[in-house]
Homo-oligomer: A and B are copies of this chain.
Amino acid sequence: MNDLKKYIDQNQDRFVKELFDLIRIPSVSAKDEHKPDMLKAANWLKEKLLKEGVDKAEVIETEGHPVVYGEKMLNEAYPTVLVYGHYDVQPAEPLDLWNSPPFEPEIRDGRIYARGANDDKGQMFMHIKAFEYLLATNQLTCNVKFMIEGEEEIGSPSLGKFCEDNKEMLKADVILVSDTSMIAPDTPSITTGLRGLAYMEVEVTGPSHDLHSGLYGGAVDNPVNVLCEMIAQLRDENNHITIPGFYDDVLELSQEERAEMARAPFDLNEFKKGIKIKKEGGEKGYSSSERTGIRPSLDVNGIWGGYTDKGAKTILPSKAYAKISMRLVPHQESKKIEKLFKEYFESIAPETVSVKVEFLHGGEGYVAPTDTIAYQAASKAFEATYGIKPIPVRSGGSIPIISLFEKILGIKSILMGFGLDSDAIHSPNENYSLEQFRKGIETIPHFYKYFAEMSK
């Protein structure tokens, strides 16, 4: 693959231009009004795969947004790599915090600024470009399948059934995914753990309509105050989550395992500086890396109720709402946590209000072993590009579908991420470094090469 760097040099501008075309389609899966954009993005990808030379490509309907599937079956004797990615993105709101329009990509200081620049359009597209290189230069030594879904950001509700229905079509030796981050631009890493997720929306209702806070205040329990008091009861002074049974299934790591984890570089001051916080938070007795890597967490993702516009409106609101999610670790099950949360939340509601708890989405955590051929091939591929071995790390994020793949398809995944912590994914001004985009396209072909060699 001596020609790899040269090939990228010669084509990088075109690669970025192509990616921009995809980014410009505002494929926000959470919002109904973007349904046509979802289809547009799916069709764009299908056409792109066909152009790159797959044997076939399809936009396959599901109950939600469609899945783009494509395959290049070169030789039955070759190992098969199933590339998974997603073309849907998070909502771009709050729009006023973006320095450039979220769906009009702009390059500043060597970074692409746009919603989806990294997550996951940018990272997923590296695989299509790596495939282009391998095929164009006759160096592809694996069969390749692409499965690019449109519901990752809303919890992949249709992909489980899609996998069940297409087990034969999706048969592969490994699933390759770029939807995670690495430690630093000069410190590659492979994600060997993911957290699960249980995401709820809660509604607290007091009086049947907003009341005058003077005429009623003090005599009627205020659902916003009550919701706050209930949320406050979800964690104790040590930031342990107080839901009974919540920690029952949590996999406790041994001191040895924790010591091993602690070897991964982490600079608390840099961490705090990067997001401008005065002091880190979190559960007592654990390091910051452990708090995201091996411990579950609970966050209010959004809260609203009453008058939120300018000025002073003196109401006692009728309703208060919150979106509350928990990140789970092996072996917590999202369905069980959902039940525990609901029971506890309802149990702490005072008699003065009524409470509704709705489960929005969830999924299980994942742990990948490092002694597989696939992990070793990925490790060598990173080494080929970066000159050093990647560090195995446990990420705090969730890609619920990864554990589903294992359960339904029986295939392990390799999480070969090229994102950086500074990419602001899910936030305003999401960005992706051109250098990382390039390094990804450079690393992936090596994975195919080593995986084929080691599979022999």
Interface set of A (CB-CB < 8 Å, partner B) = 30-32, 90-91, 93-94, 97, 153-155, 181, 195, 197, 199, 201, 206-222, 224-225, 227-229, 231-235, 271, 275-283, 288-289, 291-292, 295-317, 320-323, 325, 327, 350-354, 360-361, 395-398, 421, 424-429
CB distance from A32 to the nearest CB of B (A): 8
Question: What would 19 A/B residue contacts be, using CB atoms closer than 8 Å?
Answer: A30-B310, A195-B214, A206-B277, A207-B277, A208-B276, A209-B428, A210-B426, A212-B397, A216-B292, A220-B280, A221-B281, A224-B302, A225-B231, A225-B234, A225-B235, A228-B228, A279-B351, A280-B352, A312-B323
Residues of B within 8 A of A181 (CB): 215
Chain B, Cβ-Cβ closest to A30: B311
CB distance from A20 to the nearest CB of B (A): 23
The answer to whether A224 touches B281 (Cβ under 8 A) is: no
A79 CA to B295 CA, complexed, in Å: 76
A245 CA to B94 CA, complexed, in Å: 39
Contact pick for A213, options B31, B280, B283, B327, CB 8 Å: B327
Residues of B within 8 A of A232 (CB): 228-229, 231-233
Residues of B within 8 A of A300 (CB): 222, 224-225, 228, 305-306, 317
Residues of B within 8 A of A93 (CB): 307, 309
The answer to whether B352 touches A211 (Cβ under 8 A) is: no
A302-B313, A312-B199, A352-B281 are contacts. A292–B227 as well, Cβ < 8 Å? no
Q: A31-B311, A224-B302 are in contact. List 20 more A-B contacts (CB 8 A).
A: A197-B314, A201-B312, A212-B425, A215-B397, A217-B299, A218-B292, A220-B277, A220-B282, A221-B279, A225-B231, A225-B299, A228-B228, A228-B300, A231-B232, A279-B351, A301-B307, A301-B314, A301-B316, A301-B317, A308-B321
The answer to whether A214 touches B306 (Cβ under 8 A) is: no
The answer to whether B218 touches A297 (Cβ under 8 A) is: yes
Chain B, Cβ-Cβ closest to A223: B300
CB distance from A242 to the nearest CB of B (A): 12
Residues of B within 8 A of A428 (CB): 209-210
Residue with the highest number of chain B CB atoms closer than 10 Å, among A208, A305, A308: A308
A91-B313, A280-B220 are contacts. A305–B302 as well, Cβ < 8 Å? yes
A306 CA to B299 CA, complexed, in Å: 11
The answer to whether B281 touches A220 (Cβ under 8 A) is: yes
The answer to whether A301 touches B306 (Cβ under 8 A) is: yes
The answer to whether B316 touches A220 (Cβ under 8 A) is: no
A322 CA to B309 CA, complexed, in Å: 11
Residues of B within 8 A of A291 (CB): 218-219
CB distance from A271 to the nearest CB of B (A): 8
Residues of B within 8 A of A312 (CB): 30, 154-155, 199, 201, 301, 323, 325, 360-361
A214-B396, A421-B215 are contacts. A303–B306 as well, Cβ < 8 Å? yes
CB distance from A77 to the nearest CB of B (A): 39
Chain B, Cβ-Cβ closest to A399: B214
The answer to whether B429 touches A209 (Cβ under 8 A) is: yes
